[in-house]
Chains A and B, each alone.
Chain A
Amino acid sequence: MSEMTSTTTDLSAEAGARPVRKSSSGAAAPGPRRRTGRIRRPGWLRRATLPYLLLLPALLLELLVHLVPMVIGIVMSFKELTQFYIRDWGTAPWSGFDNYRMSVDFNAPVGEALLHSFLVTVGFTLLSVGLCWLIGTVAAIYMQDTFRGRGLLRALFLVPYALPVYAAVITWVFMFQHDNGLVNHVLHDQLHLTDKPSFWLIGDNSFVALLVVSVWKGWPFAFLIVMAGLQNIPRELYEAAALDGAGMWQQVRRITLPSLRPVNQVLVLVLFLWTFNDFNTPYVLFGRAAPQAADLISVHIYQASFVSWNFGTGSAMSVLLLLFLLVVTGVYLAITSRGRRTSDA
């Protein structure tokens, strides 16, 4: 029953599927409007053009900052764009699919490094999104009822999300320091879990460090969204379930989680895209040179472009990344939407 309202969360379908009440807006149409006789509007501000005028600023800006640069980026990926041509990039020679071939040749160093970075990113993203979602959802469900200190706790939980990324991550950098950091002090000096202090920001441990910081920073967003989603579950459902003898745990399993499905569909997708593209966290955590074990794809491409000054290859890698994200998003939406439709029937 709640599935009906919730389908509107499907963002792509929302605008198209929602029936706009023509009848009601007809009251404002030129015909009936004349009867009041007081309304004067310039001719160009008619119903037909007004929505487009309202959209114009947003559209122009998105074009300027996102779509046009994206097209330029795609063009650049077919060019041999090294620092010699950067002043006037239009004159760089065309190189066909060379940049792409180089990026996906997994036997050569460039392709091999890209593949490695991609796999690291996939693993990191799955773990981070899973943990963020899990912690956020559990916390939101636990905090659904009022109890003493709930407001305070909620404010506290939102602090990691509210902190500017660089301020939060730089604090973690301090905590992960080898000689004067908190993590080694606790693990080595206080708990004696390690033989000698570990390095966290270089070597294999860096993956763990990155994951911890990412989850610390990311789970409050899941918490926030699920908390908002919970408020839209009609109370009557719980009352009816309680009358039928369903306990607390059963209510969570039978009512709360299924009702959250449409919210989760969008939440998980957004978390996935943000985590996969995340640049700020690894960049502040490791600086320009990310360790092998935590070489996320955004930083990898950044380095391939700005450190080696090969923008053509960097662009090709970015385009491949975009294609991958498009495919994943498409498949994800198709699978989750179909699942929902069958559960409706």
Chain B
Amino acid sequence: MPSTPASPTAQVSAKAHPSPMAPPRSFLWSRRIFLTLLSGFVLVPVYVMVSSSLKPLADVTGTFHWLPSGLTFRPYVDIWSTVPLAKYFVNSLVVAGGATVCSVVIAVFAAYAVSRYAFRGKRVFTVTVLSTQMFPGILFLLPLFLLYVNIGNATGIALFGSRGGLILTYLTFSLPFSIWMLIGYFDSVPRDLDEAALVDGCGPLGALFRVVVPAAIPGIVAVAVYAFMTAWGEVLFASVMTNDATRTLAVGLQGYSTLNDVYWNQIMAASLVVSVPVVAGFLLLQRYLVAGLTAGAVK
């Protein structure tokens, strides 16, 4: 076995293999062509989004042109009044933030149990949790809706239509993958470390929070990014489980088209505005995601 599990901190800065041999010309050329084409494919929609968001309305209703006839920031001003975008933004932020925090904490506990303890039912647990990933969302959309309504009627806890209900739903979407990734990550943290902490008098939870969690920060960040993105981008449940007061961006963005007009420049501006937080966060933290995947999921 040539590879020894590197410490998680070493994997954060994991670099690509410096090639032992200079690649041949055919490789370099095909790489250049392939990557150029691919960049074009990826970039065109991004360009359309950015450029159209700066166009006057006349530009986006007539024939498409690559270059705007004039630049305007009007759409960025108008998006906030055409629909209550700020309200949707806050709703999405609360829902995605809440789901992320809960999901990460719960996944840390579960992954710690699976990684460090031998207990009956472990295999059943991991298989069950992972297999929920396979369920078509459509299968439990309606039952969940009915369940939330029934719980609301029976206990007075408003789950349906509330942000709490949406948080609860979304956190379970990211939970299976988060647990799975963290199990792999915790496994790569040497057991000697938390055993030393146990001997020094930490309880099991002390060992978890003082030793294992700090050593697994990249994995935890990766899981948090994943959980946030999952909740921020979900459409199906948001369209059924929200009302006017709790509507999230996923549904609210549909509001820019009326019967007569489609404000494409505003739609593009709004799409850009709601994308910036996640894309920026993702690109800043993507190194952790790759490191987390390397140590956990694809080991």
Complex CA–CA separation, A266 to B296 (angstroms)? 13
Query: B180 touching A62 by the CB < 8 A rule?
Result: no
A283 adjacent to B236 (CB under 8 Å): yes
Q: Which of B34, B38, B134, B142 has a CB less than 8 Å from the CB of A329?
A: B134
Contact with B along A234-260 (1 / 0, CB 8 A): 111111001000011101000000000
Asked, given contacts A15-B123, A66-B132, A318-B138, whether A225 binds B42 with beta carbons under 8 Å apart, the answer is: no
Kindly identify, within residues 1 to 49 of chain A, every residue whose CB is under 8 Å from any CB belonging to chain B: 1-2, 4-6, 8-9, 11-12, 14-16, 18, 20-22, 24-25, 27-28, 36, 38-39, 41, 45, 47-48
- Chain A nearest CB from B176 CB (Å) reads 8
Shortest distance from the beta carbon of B8 to any chain A beta carbon, whole Å = 13
Is the CB–CB distance between A76 and B142 below 8 Å?
yes
Question: Contact between A231 and B14 (Cβ–Cβ < 8 Å)?
Answer: yes
A113 interface residue, CB < 8 Å from B? no
Q: A73, B142: Cβ atoms under 8 Å?
A: yes
Q: Tell whether, in the assembled complex, residue B290 and residue A155 are in contact, meaning their CB atoms are under 8 Å apart.
A: no
Tell me the minimal C-beta distance from B59 to chain A in angstroms: 9
Residues B138 and A247 in contact, CB atoms below 8 Å apart: no
Cβ of A69 and Cβ of B21 under 8 Å apart? no
- A235 partner residues in chain B, CB cutoff 8 A: 17, 20
Binds A, one of B76-84, B212-220, B268-276: B268-276
A289: chain B residues within 8 A (beta carbon): none
Q: How far is the CA of A241 from the CA of B18 in the complex (A)?
A: 14
Tell whether B152 is near chain A: CB-to-CB under 8 Å.
no
Are B119 and A52 within 8 A (Cβ)? Answer: yes
* A280 touching B298 in the complex, CB below 8 Å, given contacts A50-B117, A146-B18, A180-B63: no
A119 to chain B, nearest CB (A): 17
Say yes or no: is A273 at the interface (Cβ < 8 Å to chain B). Answer: yes
Chain B nearest Cβ from A83, distance in angstroms: 12
Residue B62 lies at the interface, judged by CB distance under 8 Å to chain A: yes
With both beta carbons as reference points, the residue of chain B lying nearest to A263 in the complex is identified as B298
Question: What range describes how many residues of A lie at the interface?
Answer: 35 or more
Residue of A73, A270, A284 near B139 (CB, 8 A) is: A73
A242–B298 CA distance with the chains assembled, in angstroms: 26
**Among listed A97-105, A171-179, A334-342, interface-contacting one:** A171-179
Closest residue of chain B to A8 (Cβ to Cβ) is: B299
Which residues 162-186 of A have a CB within 8 angstroms of B? 162-168, 170-172, 174-175, 177, 179-182, 184-185
Residues of B within 8 A of A15 (CB): 114, 122-123, 125-127, 183
Q: How many residues of B contact A (CB 8 A)?
A: 119
Contacts of B114 in A (CB 8 A): 15, 51, 55
Which chain B residues lie closer than 8 Å to A180 at the CB level? 60-64, 264
Contacts of B107 in A (CB 8 A): 58
Asked whether, in the complex, the Cβ of B21 is within 8 Å of the Cβ of A166, the reply is: no
Q: Is B169 in the interface zone, CB < 8 Å from A?
A: yes
Judged by a CB distance under 8 angstroms, whether A229 is at the interface is yes
Q: List 28 A-B contacts (CB under 8 A).
A: A1-B2, A5-B3, A6-B299, A14-B183, A15-B126, A25-B195, A28-B199, A54-B113, A55-B109, A57-B109, A66-B140, A72-B146, A155-B283, A164-B250, A164-B275, A167-B253, A185-B64, A227-B290, A232-B3, A237-B2, A248-B23, A277-B138, A279-B235, A279-B236, A298-B136, A301-B136, A318-B138, A325-B134
Which residues of B approach A to under 8 Å, CB–CB? Answer: 1-3, 11, 14-21, 23-24, 26-27, 30-31, 34-35, 38-39, 41-46, 48-49, 52, 60-65, 106-107, 109-110, 112-114, 116-119, 122-123, 125-130, 132-144, 146-147, 168-169, 171-172, 175-176, 179-180, 183-184, 187, 191-192, 195, 198-199, 201, 203-204, 229, 232-236, 239, 249-250, 253, 264, 267-268, 271-272, 274-275, 278-279, 282-283, 286, 289-290, 293-294, 297-299
